[in-house]
Structure 1
Amino acid sequence: MNQVEQSVAEYVDEVWEDVVADIEQLVSYPSVAVAADAEPGAPFGRPVRDALDCALGIAQKLGYQTSDDDGYVGIADIPGRGDKQLATICHVDVVPAGPGWNTDPFAMERREGWLLGRGVIDDKGPAVLSLYAGAYLLKHGIVPRYTFRALLGCDEEVGMSDVHHYLENHADPDFLFTPDAEFPVCNAEKGQFGATFVSPKIDGGRIVSWSGAEASNAIPSQSICELAIAADELPAPVENADRLEITALDNGHAQIFAHGIGGHASMPEGTINAVGLIVAYLREAEDAFGARDERLLTPAEHEFVKFLAFVHADAYGRGLGIDATSPAFGPLTCNAGLIRVADGHIEQVIDVRFPDSTSADTIREQLDPLVGRFGVTCRVGRAKVPFSVSADDPAVKALIDTYNEFTGKHAEPFAMGGGTYARNFARAVSFGPEETGLELPAWGGQMHGPNECANEEQLKQALKIYIVAILRLNELEL
């Protein structure tokens, strides 16, 4: 270990208990961004503003110069010798806690070398790491070549309007990385496409209510559907019987409760969409009713559930006819997580992450035949093109080299389906702190799902990597 790495390791050991305590404090805020709850200086609601103030307070304690962009983005600076700027950006907002937690999601627990709570890995834990990474400079009296700016966003999980506001009022950093993804370095992000499928008007329907994920970018771990029929009239599940519960409600209706395996919309491998479990059961139950020349659902409901079977056929858009892949970006993913019954219609939202071999316009055109066949309305939402920065960029090389030296690996930059702040900046990548293939404890879960957890040793290693990377980036001509 060289002298710099030795100094960094000693610093991390010295501050680690403070790091954990600050993560715990930041996790305590239920900071779900809600633009409808905007107040002056708090464009995404008071809980997010409180979390931002907490993070800025941590920065002030560490010695940063702090300010904020009208409550959209927090700014923590370590002035440099020149005019150029090196930046990181994390976010203090989180997806809703959602069901399935075994602990209070906003009271962080420390267990067996892991941190447990909403935001510990996405992205409050990394936000604290970014502040302590820059604070290494302050601790050792280092005036950096480039101003180091730690940005703290407030609307990453919803629309990233925070960085749009920031960039209208501030110059683009000369280079930025965001600790909001997996190591080694993500230099390319898939495009994004969102749409809502709306059923025709349903009169006198049997489906009273239906819930799924709390956010479109979350794969639902639970789904609940209430049917206006007695529970004892429904057949017992055949497929997925261990994941479905049918109970009688006090109003004489039946409730179907599906237990899936949640996760992030861009990483469906290993997950089970709970809404899809209910779709499959409804199709199964309808067949059982049909065998008795009876109907479970109204004709309009029947057709829409039949359509939903195509939506939920898999997590890669094959049922919808929109599947695509490319060598650089990998396969398209499609998550159908948000579902509800409203104003006599059933609405299903999809979140699509697509490679550079297709486009939002192509996806929209490919949806038309199936949508038309079932008389479904398709409301198109967001659309973002794929984004990439060259793997040969010297700054990208500095990051990947630092990661490889710490881990002994020979990793290369990669593309992913997740959307980070990086795509909004001219020269930016995402850089950890997650590790692919890290085995979670039995009681722990992934980001965006219940029981979100982060490994302390993993976070410690990431902090060391970030500090050395910042030192090396200051040696480059940005």
Structure 2
Amino acid sequence: MRADVMESVDAYVDEVWEDVVADISTLVSHASVADASAAEPGAPFGRPVRAALDCALGIAERLGYQTGDDEGFVGYADIAGERAEHIATIAHVDVVPAGPGWATDPFAMERREGWLLGRGVIDDKGPAVLSLYAGAYLLRQGITPRYTFRALLGCDEEVGMSDVHHYLESHEQPLFLFTPDAEFPVCNAEKGCFGGTFASAPIEGGVIHSWSGAEATNAIPSESVCVLGVSVSELPVPRANADRVAVEALEDGSARIFAQGIGGHASLPEGTINAIALVVGYLREVAAARPELFAAQECAFLDLLACVHEDTAGRGLGIASESAAFGPLTCNAGTIEVVDGRILQTIDVRFPDSITADEMRMICNATAAQYGAEFCQGSVKEPFSVSADSPCVQALLNVYRQVTGRSAEPFSMGGGTYARNFASAVSFGPEDNSLELPAWAGTMHGPNEAVNEALLRDALKMYILALLRLNELDL
């Protein structure tokens, strides 16, 4: 890219940056957790998500886009090009629930020491705003792009991506799309997604009254609370993980077990500690010392949970697998609850092309049966990839190299993004997991979600340059 173009992009980013931060803050203020059960006409995922979508579309209109939406499923903002065929970005305005453990208000963005804190600052409201400002550079410079540019704004990425499925039923595929919803440099391959629920046998005379973990299956729980219908005096002192497990008496005479883990995203388990696993470990200590306290079905299910929580690679369940193209399988057991006399434990598996969903379903069914439990398979998404030799992929890699000065090759990941729903798409930043977080900052999907401002500034530069480069290609 010519030096004068780079200077122009740098000057633009400097000029608009305070507006970018302000718009991120406004968008973060919407507690936009998708809830299809609260659907209304024009708001298929509830009013809070619709409000966030309207906020983002308002930003786009102010920047000069032509905007519209697909019945509230997806919003779009267009910049007309010389040709009707379009290239696109897609980000999402829905977020995972705030969850416990925040030191700040998750929906009141805070700016601290070069970082932004708030739910969605990195996943994915911050990047959504960047995508709008990237296209607005073309308008500011009076550039008519070769291809029409469309910035898509999704509303159901965190739950099921039904938004983009609805959109693609009546809208053309872009020539190429990137989503700012992953790590730099370029992710051209995403592992498959496999979900399901282990259910204990019906429990008679059980002592486990309630149990909680994460609020979403794709989150690693930072906290877990289990209430037992016994007196604290009957329970042993925690041995393993005693610094993370606390037992206290409740007013009704029952016992509350609280575990403090380290949360994160299901696809990135390294460095996390699943709080449910900590409770499982303690309950098995109790069962070993006082087996008469538990119903037989509870003891059996605790043994099954020990297999589920043995590690994050699926070894305890017998589904561990790895391939050169996609890397290792990951397994997160994120949500747990007691419903109608049964304990329900979900799993969220990100799997490579070396194992199939049918194989995992059969293994999970067989494992559950060994403990008198059942397994119900949920959603499945197959692994997908785009060739690393694609001119579009290479264009994005070259932009990353130019801006950062780093070497770069495409990679695979366990996170599931919108990219897998399009014919030709990849994810392109803006995360950088090599950055060390301050002690008060957290990762996406966990408490105190934070993003580095300098990283976002570089990302905006890269998104502008990427649009310019893609318009030079014959697509």
TM range (shorter): over 0.9
Aligned equivalent of 2:132: 131
The residue type paired with residue 134 of structure 1 is G
Q: Paired residue for 2:469, among 446, 468, 472?
A: 472
Q: How does 1:183-194 map to 2 (within 5 A)?
A: 183-194=184-195
Write the distance in 1 (CA, Å) between the matches of 2:17 and 2:43. Answer: 31
Percent identity for Structure 1 against Structure 2: 68
Aligned equivalent of 2:306: 309
Q: Deviation of residue 369 (structure 1)?
A: 2.6
Write the distance in 2 (CA, Å) between the matches of 1:191 and 1:353. Answer: 5
Q: Deviation of residue 368 (structure 1)?
A: 3.0
Q: Deviation of residue 359 (structure 1)?
A: 0.9
Write the distance in 2 (CA, Å) between the matches of 1:113 and 1:306. Answer: 46
Write the distance in 1 (CA, Å) between the matches of 2:463 and 2:293. Answer: 57
Could you tell me whether the CA contact under 8 Å between 2:186 and 2:410 is conserved in 1? yes
Q: Deviation of residue 427 (structure 1)?
A: 0.1
Q: How does 1:312-461 map to 2 (within 5 A)?
A: 312-461=309-458
Write the distance in 2 (CA, Å) between the matches of 1:232 and 1:328. Answer: 53
- What RMSD in Å do the two structures reach over aligned CA positions? 0.7
Write the distance in 1 (CA, Å) between the matches of 2:239 and 2:433. Answer: 35
Q: Deviation of residue 410 (structure 1)?
A: 1.2
Indicate yes or no: 2:263 matched with 1:262.
Answer: yes
Deviations 1:423-446, CA, capped at 9 Å, x for gaps: 000000000000122111100000
Write the distance in 2 (CA, Å) between the matches of 1:297 and 1:19. Answer: 55
Q: Deviation of residue 269 (structure 1)?
A: 0.1
Aligned equivalent of 2:59: 58
Write the distance in 2 (CA, Å) between the matches of 1:381 and 1:234. Answer: 36
Q: Deviation of residue 72 (structure 1)?
A: 0.3
Could you tell me whether the CA contact under 8 Å between 2:197 and 2:345 is conserved in 1? yes
Secondary structure (helix, strand or coil) at the match of 1:404 reads helix
Secondary structure (helix, strand or coil) at the match of 2:268 reads coil
Write the distance in 2 (CA, Å) between the matches of 1:82 and 1:401. Answer: 25
Write the distance in 1 (CA, Å) between the matches of 2:167 and 2:5. Answer: 34
Q: How does 1:12-161 map to 2 (within 5 A)?
A: 12-161=13-162
Q: Which runs of 4+ in 1 moved over 3 A?
A: none
Could you tell me whether the CA contact under 8 Å between 2:145 and 2:471 is conserved in 1? yes
Deviations 1:120-140, CA, capped at 9 Å, x for gaps: 000000000000000000001
The residue type paired with residue 127 of structure 2 is P
**How many residue pairs are counted as aligned between the two chains?**
474
Q: Deviation of residue 288 (structure 1)?
A: 1.8
Aligned equivalent of 1:283: 284
Q: Normalising by the residue count of structure 2, what TM-score does the alignment of the two structures yield?
A: 0.99
Write the distance in 1 (CA, Å) between the matches of 2:438 and 2:11. Answer: 28
Q: Normalising by the residue count of structure 1, what TM-score does the alignment of the two structures yield?
A: 0.98
Secondary structure (helix, strand or coil) at the match of 1:84 reads strand
Q: Deviation of residue 83 (structure 1)?
A: 2.2
Secondary structure (helix, strand or coil) at the match of 1:415 reads strand
Write the distance in 2 (CA, Å) between the matches of 1:436 and 1:200. Answer: 41
Could you tell me whether the CA contact under 8 Å between 2:219 and 2:265 is conserved in 1? yes
Could you tell me whether the CA contact under 8 Å between 2:183 and 2:428 is conserved in 1? yes
